[in-house]
Amino acid sequence: MRLPHFRSLPLLILSLVCLPLSAKADAVGAQSLDQYPSFIEFSSMSPDSTQTILRCGYISDGKTVSLNPNFLEVTQHNAGRGLYTRLQHIDDTIIATTPAPQGSYGLYLQILGGDGALTAATCQTDTATDTILDCHRAPAKTVANDMMLNDRKLGMQCGDVISQGKSKIDPKLANPEKTEEFMAGLRKKIEMLNNAK
């Protein structure tokens, strides 16, 4: 599977070049497909040690799985190069995360709400747990249409991963209660960002 490139966001450039799930990963390094109660995680490591992680929400009827469009996420990071970018789709909200502009601290998050309003904030962030704190309002620098375009590409990528990975996904591992708890935490993040001063 060859996933498209994210080109449009000036500060969010996520290049995802992944092989089919069944293929050997000689060109991009190690790959893995892991399943959690709320999402499927497809990760790959490029030769320069840049890690790309695609997380796709899913739902199950107990026999098969399908994409849950309420949670989509792609992250790319390389500690040696100081690279960290993330695009998240949570319900009807899109969040683009990049390093904060020079002179600021933490990470820079741009939030596109379902109503089309685009805002931004800089926050101290624990990238391992996606926890944010001490957020401060900042000017938005991205065109809303660019975020929506990248969001659509992310949805297509997740659809491909779910479709191609179905034989490796156990429908019985889906857990609606844990998914709702997981989504509640993400919605709290959106609330904190919207309330940044």
Residue ranges covered by each domain of the chain: 31-194
Q: What is the pTM of this model?
A: 0.84
Residue 188, helix vs strand vs coil: helix
Per-residue confidence (pLDDT) for residue 81, from 0 to 100 = 84
Per-residue confidence (pLDDT) for residue 8, from 0 to 100 = 32
How far apart CA 30 and CA 41 sit, in angstroms, is 14
Per-residue confidence (pLDDT) for residue 13, from 0 to 100 = 33
Per-residue confidence (pLDDT) for residue 27, from 0 to 100 = 45
State how beta strands 107-112 and 31-35 pair. unpaired
Per-residue confidence (pLDDT) for residue 127, from 0 to 100 = 81
Per-residue confidence (pLDDT) for residue 130, from 0 to 100 = 82
Per-residue confidence (pLDDT) for residue 129, from 0 to 100 = 83
Per-residue confidence (pLDDT) for residue 163, from 0 to 100 = 92
pLDDT along the chain (197 residues), means of 10: 34 36 48 94 91 95 94 92 91 93 82 93 87 90 89 95 91 95 94 90
Per-residue confidence (pLDDT) for residue 107, from 0 to 100 = 92
Host H or E run for residue 125: strand 118-126
How far apart CA 188 and CA 175 sit, in angstroms, is 20
Which residue(s) pair with 119 in the sheet? 111
Distances (CA, A) of 173 to 38, 74, 140: 9, 22, 39
State how beta strands 65-78 and 39-45 pair. unpaired
